[in-house]
Amino acid sequence: MQPTPIHGGPALAEGLPFLLMLLSIALFPMFAPRFWVRHMGKIAIFWSLASLIPLSITEGAGVALLGAWQALLADYFPFVALLVAMYSVGGGILLEGGPWGTPSGNVALMVIATICGAILGPVAVSMVLIHPLLRANAHRRDKVHLVVFFIVLVCNVSGVTTPLGNPPLYIGLLQGVPFSWPLKMLLLPGLVLTLPLLALFWWFDRRSAAKDPIPAARRRLHVRGLGNIALLGLVVLTVVAQSQFPVGPVQMPFAIVAGEQFSGAMLFLAVAAVAGRKTPLAIHQANMFTWEPLVEVAKLFAGIFVTIVPVLHMLEAGTAGPLAPLLRLTANAAGQPIPAVYFWFAGILSAFLDNAPTYFLFFRLAGGDPVRLTGEWAPTLMAMSAGAVCFGALTYIGNAPNMMVRGVAAHRGVRMPGFFGYMAMACGLLLPGFVLLTLLFFL
């Protein structure tokens, strides 16, 4: 993934529409929720157009519009197509029964989901397993902690070992990082972060369950929607094939796209259509399936993908751009990258920017040589990988599955915290673990 070229040097003020886009996502749901629900798409379009004004003035409206079109077709379209496929397929898989709904059962499901996320990727697993978690705990009065821990562990931290359905590490795979490298190098840091979180989740859930009604009698676990499981496998195989069989750039109307990503996106949409058409209505009803959470994510990320372009170019400009004072901190006097700085810088930016281009730009900042980065500079690659993946849990916009799971939970009646409320909870859960990772692996 590479930012759309923009002529001339970026100015710090060009990132203002992106900042205002983020503030809109954070503040409108708090202070004007009805207005936000009705007009979020228009607000995203407004800030997208505002981000094109500086370039329109300096380079002309045509260049600005072509840049936005390139971002939408080359980056946003493959991204949202994968989400559509995963969402449609996940909504057609129904897990009935099982031991979930008690503290021990919920921890078991969280462990299973985290392990599956580490293998199949967080997008696929989160869309499948959020439904049985919420359905099994329908009798609980307080379910917010279930969703928050699920977002942290399953949607984000679980993906630290796999490039499947995990955009930052998938970018690394495309840049030449071996498929198994994240598993070999990041399994231990992932466990150091995951195990305390699982213990904390059990403690939270045990305290919450003591105040709630007794769950219904357990039923034998039964899986419905086996055809959708096969479709899920097809999506995973397609993601793997995109890295193994590159097609190269393809000229589209007024844009250049990666052929393997565009063809994969078309297949993802076909899979979504098949899953949506073939899934029995009873399964959709049991999962309370609707397209609303996905539509919300698609609208907001369209605005994010356009308004983020100037910010990415500030990062791409490196020490010659407006962010030079910060980026100079990433290397020591000898010019060698400092892993701890890469972990925190790539992480914090990934929490508010799209984590895939953030990873890509830090990969290039560290030299862009996969042999060196998986060899003598392996701690630096470990740091930027762990930061880009795990810090995405700090905000709803840090990773697309965060917003999708939030939407599913809200549709099921869970009163999810707002942008800042969630960020405060996630920071409380994760920042101590990030400090521990820094001390153990990146200093």
Rounded average pLDDT over 197-225: 83
- Average pLDDT for 378-391: 94
Q: What are phi and psi of 220, to 5 degrees?
A: -65, 140
What pLDDT is recorded for position 5? Answer: 44
pLDDT value of residue 10: 58
Q: Would you say residue 192 has pLDDT above 90?
A: yes
User: Which residues does residue 252 pair with via DSSP β-bridges, in sequence order?
Assistant: 255
Best-predicted range by mean pLDDT (25-39, 315-329, 429-443): 429-443
Q: pTM for the whole thing?
A: 0.81
Q: Tell me the pLDDT band of 389, cut-offs 50, 70 and 90.
A: very high
| 437 or 55: which leads in pLDDT | 437
pLDDT confidence of residue 6: 45
Per cent of the chain over pLDDT 70 is 96
Specify the residue for token string 């010659």. 320
Q: What is the mean pLDDT of the chain?
A: 86
pLDDT tens sequence across 160-173: 998 877 878 877 88
Confidence of residue 80 (pLDDT cuts 50, 70, 90): confident
Segment 236-248, tens digit of pLDDT:
888 778 767 777 8
Strand 249-252 to strand 255-258: parallel, antiparallel, or no bridges (unpaired)? Answer: antiparallel
d(CA 330, CA 332): 7
Residue 174 pLDDT > 80: no
Q: Which of 237, 239, 225, 238 is nearest to 289 (CA)?
A: 225
pLDDT tens digits along 30-71:
888 889 989 999 999 999 999 888 878 877 888 788 888 888
pLDDT at 208: 85
- Residues 330-368: tens digit of each pLDDT: 888 777 889 999 999 999 988 887 777 778 778 878 887
Q: Check residue 270 and give its pLDDT.
A: 95
Mean pLDDT on 1-14? 57
Q: How far apart are CA 63 and CA 432, in angstroms?
A: 45
Answer whether residue 98 shows pLDDT above 70.
yes
- Give the pLDDT of residue 412: 85
Residue 98 φ/ψ, nearest 5 degrees: 100, 170
With beta carbons less than 8 A apart as the criterion, state whether 205 and 110 touch.
no
169 to 41, 165, 355, 382: CA distances (angstroms): 30, 9, 10, 11
Assign 4 a pLDDT band (cuts: 50, 70, 90): very low
Q: What is the mean pLDDT of residues 23-36?
A: 86
User: What confidence score (pLDDT) does residue 305 get?
Assistant: 84
pLDDT for res 217: 66
pLDDT class for 9, splitting at 50, 70, 90? low
Residue 443: beta bridge partners? none
Give the pLDDT band (50/70/90) at residue 27. confident
**By three-state DSSP, how is residue 344 classified?**
helix
Higher pLDDT, 387 or 285: 387
CA 98/CA 218 separation, integer angstroms? 6
pLDDT score of 216 = 65
Question: From start to end of 301-384, where are the E strands?
Answer: none
State the average pLDDT over residues 228-233: 90
Position of tokens 């197509």? 81
